[in-house]
Every structure is written in structure tokens, then in C-alpha cells.
Structure 1
Amino acid sequence: MKLGLRLPQRLGVDLRHDVVEAARTAEAAGYAGLWTYERLLFPEQPLEPYAPPNVPWPAASRQAADPLAVLAAAAVVTNTVRLGTSVLVAPLHLPIQLAKELATIDQLSGGRVIAGLSTGWSTDELQAAGTTRAGRGRILDETLDVFDAAWGPDPVTFRGARTVIENAAVLPKPVSKIPVMLGGGGDARAQQRIAQRADGWLPLLTTPGPAGAAELRTGWARIRELATGYGRDASRMEMVVVGNVTFTDRPAGPGRTAFVGTLDQILEDVHTAAEAGADELIVDLNLQDWFTSTRQMLETAVEIRERADVG
């Protein structure tokens, strides 16, 4: 299992310097991937909690710098790491513009981009982008269709609910087809979409220990079984697990959530992801309110990479 690191986008980050420093440091430390996430805004009185049943939105997410701009900055100062989004909220974007932006960054990086997408969940964000929760699945499906068309040969002709392209060149093209991964997977429709359309799955690990590994293995086995049924080569698909880290001063109790606890407990969760069969684990330190600087965050990231006994 490889390790990836989410780049700093949170409140308090010096974007001009910290993104470049983080990208270079992570690549030098042996991280295999650099990832960004998307939060469009921070509602003062959100319509939904950050996570069920009543987890509040973290203060650090008052700023989440634009994920594609951050990824482009990382692209020009690195050479080998993969550059992924985990995740972009498809309904917040016009599909043709998103296809063009991803293809441009893929060219800048020499073909290292991975497009991680989801339907999103925040009503506050969806309504700010002029859409609704009811239509988000259809928008994601159209986005995937537009990717196929726009990244294919010119001239492009496409007709969808939001996108109409008539016999036009759409450039630049990616270096090669950009792998598309999907988050979610909590219901049958989401699993079918991943199995039919995606190159991989981006699940969260929330339960520590053997139970958490079993949950991921079961979901991943189901998705690959469906993919095989659709005539796809499931062995070419990847599972990239997301670990949202929250450190505690003392060991968290037996009812803890995965990636909440001391550094030793976080390292146990790293091994749980490996036992579940993850191809890569994204270490996300963006939600840590107590990090006083990006350098302190990177020191922790380097320590995790050094102590984690993974590939």
C-alpha cells in the first residue's frame, strides 16, 4: 500500500509558500500521491452537520483553497507523485470546464492527474452553485459522459441536459485518459456507478481494527464483482482509502473513530487500511486546528511516512 498526503488548503495556510513546500517535502519523504479536497463555502448555520448525526463543521474548513489551483501549483514543483482530487463535487462545476481544467493540469504534470469525484452532500454548497440534492446524481453522470467525449478525439459532439457541444475541437487533451475515481459507495446505486464508470473507489475508513478492514473488504469485493459483471477488468481498478486524522493528547477509547487518537493509534489505522486491501491511503491533516504552521504539519506527515511500515 502506498501513502498519499492531502495538501494544505485550510484556514491559516500561506498559500503562496506552503503549497509548494508541502508538495516538495511530501515527494522527498516518499509519499506517492498528493491530493486536494473541495469545500466551496462555510455556512454559519449549515443545513446539515459535517457528519451524521451531529458533528459540527470544523473551523479549519472556513477556508478550503480551490483544489485545482492548488493541484496545478503542486504539478509544476514535483516530478513523480500522482496528483489527485479527493474529492471534487461534480455538481459545483460545469462539466466541460472541469474536463478542460483537469486536462490542462494533466499536461502541466506530464500525465499524473487522478480525478476523484462525488455527488456532494451539502445543500448550502449545492444551492450556491444553482443545483439541488435531487439532481446531483444526474449531474455526476453527465460529467462522466462529458469527460469521455471531451478527452476523446476531435471534433467533439455531445448533447446532455447541461452540456451541448456541436462538432468542436476541445483542447488540450490529457496526456492519456485520466483515471476517474468516485467517492461514496454507501448504497446500491453508488456501487453500480463505481463498478460501471470508475477506475477506482475513494472510501473513508471510519471503523478501526478488524471490523473496519472487513467493512472495506466487503464493499470493495461487491464493487469488483459488479464491475466484472459489466464486462470490465476489475483487477485494473484501485481502492484509495481516505483517513481524516484528528490527534488526541491521550489514547482514544474503544469506541473511537478510525484516525482519531494518538500517533500510535493513527499508525494502527494505517495498517488497518493496508489489511483491507487499499492500494493507497490518503493521510489528511487539514482538519487539525492545533497545527500552528504548515511546517509542523509536514513534520508530522514525514514522521507518519517514516514509521508506517508500508510500501
Structure 2
Amino acid sequence: MKLGLALPQRYGVDLQRDVVKVAKLAEEQGFDSVWVGERPTFAAPGSEGLYGIPGLPWPEAYKGMCEPLTAMAAAAAVTERVRIGSSVLVPALHHPAQLAAALATIDQISGGRVVAGIGSGWAHSDFDAVGVPFADRNRLLDEAFDVFEAVWGADPVEYRGGRITIDGAFVGPKPVSKLPVIASGHGEKALDKVARRADGWTPAAIPVAMTARLWDQIREKATGYGRDVSAMECVIRANVELSDQPIGGERRPMVGSMDQVVEDIVETARLGADELFIDLSQSEPFQGTSWIINTALEIKERVTAARV
């Protein structure tokens, strides 16, 4: 299993230095990829629960997160080997043709290393901030798949959809080669969309055994749609929160002592994930980017020692 590292985007980091510092160090220290997420708003306390669950507080890490495409471009410019991924961008918050152009541009800058993880989104405040109805999120995710396929394809581009029309125009830049588009979600409709349209799946915050079971379901569905499942990949976002002592009883995946988190990652590898990336930004109190690198390296060394 490949290992990646989330770039520091959260409130409290030095954006002038920390994004490129972590990207370069991740490459130097043998990580396979670096990743960003998208969180344009931070809902007022009590107004909206995390993941839409009433009363569940949002992590401080979400407050003031930097714009993801800019962070991807910065990482692409200072690295040569690592993949540059998103997990996830929410296409409904963007104009689809402009998002396609941005991703293709970063892919060109990186020499063909971009992985576009996309999802429907869950925060009402994000949609309110850009004036897009929350109820349209799944339709707009489908639109993004269509637009990406059209504008990254051969010129002249012909496309007519709900929001845009391209009538025989030349549209650039194009990705260096096939740009993988992976998708998130774990509901029935989301899993079906991954199986039908995506190049892979990027889940988060799901128990390890459930992740393995759902990934099997996706591949079974994809086979039924006549797709080559060997070309699909499962990339796990590990939202790591470390505690000083082991957590007893039920606990969220990737949350607990160092031993417990490493155990979760090793089990994830054994159950068939292709890649996992470590996001330490949600651990509180946040201890800075040097702590991110040092802690991620310890996790990487211990996972590697387990020979997975």
C-alpha cells in the first residue's frame, strides 16, 4: 500500500512557507503523494453539525482552510515525483469548465501527477456561500464528470449541458495523459456513481472493515457495468487524531494512541486499499508543520516495518 501525506491547509499554518515545506519534505522522505481537501466555510457553532449530524462539532482545523487548487499548484511546482491529489474537491462550488482547466493546468505543471478526487459535498454553509442550491449537489457532480470528459478530450469540443454550452471550440490545456478522477461517498447512490463513472474511490472516517466491504461492492458493481476494475484504485483519507493513552471501547478509525492508529493503517493495507494518506491537521492542540512531518514519518516507519 502506498502512503501519502495531507498538506497543511488549516487555520494557524504559515501559508507562505508551510505548504511547499511539507510538499518538499514529503517527497524527500519517500511519501508517494500529497493531498488537499476543500472547506470554504466554517459554520457558526450550533448552526450545522459536522457531516450534517446535528450537534457534532466541527474541528478547529476547518476554520480558515486555504484554497485547495492553489495549494496543489504550489506543491506541483516544488516537487518532481509525488502525486498531487484532492480528497475532495466539490465541483458544485466551482464552474465546471474552469475547474477542469485548473486541474489540467496543474497536471501540466506537475508533469502528469494530478489525481482529482471529487464529491457532492455535505455542508449547507458552503453552498450558501456560492449561491448554489444544496439540493443540486448530486446533479452538479454528474455534470462535472461530463464536462471533464468533454473538455479533456479531443478538440474541437462539443458539449451542451445544464449550465454551459461549448459549440465546437478548442479548449485547453489538456491533461498530460489520462487524469484519474476518483470520487467519495458511502451511500448507495454514491457507491453506484463510483462504480459507473469514477477511476477510484476515496472514503474517509469509515470503519476499516466497512471500507473493505464497500470497496468490494464497488468493484462488483463496476464489473457489472463492464468496467476494468483492475484500473480502479481505493485511496483512503486517514483523519488521524492522536491521544496520549489508548482509547478503550468503540472508537473512530484512525483515532487513538499511536499504536492504535498504526494498527488501523496496517489493517487497512491488509484489507486491500491501494493508498492511504495521513492527515494530522485535525489533532488538537495543533503543534505545527514540523510536528506533522515528524509524526507522519514515525507512522510511516512503523507501517513499513509491518511489511504491508
Q: Is the 8 A contact 2:46 2:55 kept in 1?
A: no
Comparing 104-113 with 237-246, greater Cα deviation is found at 237-246
| Residue equivalent to 1:26 | 26
Number of equivalent positions? 305
Q: Please say if residues 88 and 118 of structure 2, whose CA atoms lie closer than 8 Å, have aligned partners that are also in contact.
A: yes
Task: State the match for 2:173 in structure 1.
Answer: 172
Instruction: Find the counterpart in structure 1 of residue 42 from structure 2.
Output: 42
Instruction: Indicate if the aligned counterparts of 2:45 and 2:57 stay in contact, CA closer than 8 A.
Output: no
Q: Is 2:142 the partner of 1:147?
A: no
Instruction: Please say which of residues 289-298 and 1-10 is displaced more in the overlay.
Output: 289-298
Residues 67-82 of structure 1: matches in 2 within 5 Å?
A: 67-82=68-83
Structure 2: how far apart are the matches of 1:149 and 1:256? Answer: 43
> 1:239-279 CA distances to partner (integer Å, 9 max, x unpaired)?
11111011112111121111111111110111121122100
Structure 1 alignment gaps of length 5 or more: none
Q: Residues 47 and 123 of structure 1 are in contact (CA less than 8 Å); yes or no, is this contact kept in structure 2?
A: no
Instruction: Give the C-alpha shift of residue 48 in structure 1.
Output: 2.6
Contact 1:104/1:174 (CA < 8 Å) preserved in 2? Answer: yes
Residue 183 and residue 46 in structure 1: after superposition, are their counterparts in 2 closer, same or farther (change >3 A)?
Answer: farther
Matches of 2:46 and 2:116, distance apart in 1:
27
2:288 is aligned with 1:287: no
Q: How far 1:205 moved relative to its partner?
A: 4.4
Within-5 A mapping of 1:168-247: 168-187=169-188, 189-207=189-207, 212-213=208-209, 215-247=210-242
TM-score w.r.t. length of structure 1: 0.95
Look up the equivalent residue of 2:278 and give its one-letter code: V
Aligned counterparts of 1:36 and 1:69: Cα–Cα separation in 2: 10
1:9 corresponds to: 9
Q: CA deviation at 1:53?
A: 5.1
- Measure, in 2, the Cα distance between the counterparts of 1:9 and 1:46: 24
Higher mean alpha-carbon deviation, 284-293 vs 240-249, is at 284-293
Letter in 2 for 1:29: Q
Matched, 1:258 2:234: no
Q: Which residue type is aligned with residue 68 of structure 2?
A: P
Distance 1:282 1:293 in 2: 18
Task: Tell me the amino acid that sits aligned with residue 179 of structure 1.
Answer: P
Q: Check whether the contact 2:112–2:177 (CA below 8 A) recurs between aligned residues.
A: yes
Long gaps (5+) in structure 2: none
Q: How far apart are residue 223 of structure 1 and its match?
A: 0.8
Higher RCO (CA < 8 A, seq sep 6+): 1
The SS at the match of 1:143 is helix
- Give, in angstroms, the shift of residue 46 of structure 1: 5.7
- Give 1:47 deviation, angstroms: 4.0
DSSP-derived class of the 1:34 partner? strand
- Note closer, same or farther for the CA distance 1:182–1:219 as it changes in structure 2 (3 Å cut): same
Distance 1:283 1:293 in 2: 15
2:135 corresponds to 1:134: yes
Q: Give the drift of 1:83.
A: 0.6
Which of 270, 278, 282 aligns to 2:273? It is 278
Residue 269 of structure 1: SS of its match in structure 2?
helix
Instruction: State the one-letter code of the partner of 1:305.
Output: K
Question: Matches of residues 43-58 of structure 1 in structure 2 within 5 Å?
Answer: 43-45=43-45, 47-51=47-51, 52=53, 54-58=55-59
- Name the SS for the 2:80 alignment partner: coil
- Alpha-carbon RMSD across the aligned residues, in angstroms, is 1.3
> Percent identity between the aligned chains?
50
Q: Distance in 1 between matches of 2:270 and 2:11?
A: 34
SS of residue in 1 equivalent to 2:132: coil
Deviations 1:207-266 (A, max 9, x none): 2xxxx32x1222111111111111110111001111101111211112111111111111
CA distance in 2, matches of 1:154, 1:113: 21
Give 1:6 deviation, angstroms: 0.5
Answer whether contact 1:291 1:297 (CA < 8 A) is retained. no
Match of 2:109 in 1: 108
